[in-house]
Amino acid sequence: MKYKYTYEEWSQDTRTYEIESDKQLTEEEIIDIASSTGMNENSQYKTKDFVCKFKGTEWGDDSQYEITGDTKLWNDDDE
């Protein structure tokens, strides 16, 4: 018999972008601009209308996990 498990882990990471624009932007434009900017510290994406700077990532420290499958309890004796 084979056992199959899924392990998922997630945390709250925060990526910060700073955008300066000569015109008012929509939320969609802001998301597109941020998504097009590299994620190396101080990466920039520039056009004649805006400059977007990636300021960095604050890594979450409250990771959560979930395991699914038929697991053995810690105190179970080998059968």
Domain ranges of the chain: 14-59
User: How much is the pLDDT for 36?
Assistant: 92
DSSP state of 41: T
pTM of the model as a whole: 0.64
pLDDT < 50 stretches in the chain: none
User: How much is the pLDDT for 47?
Assistant: 93
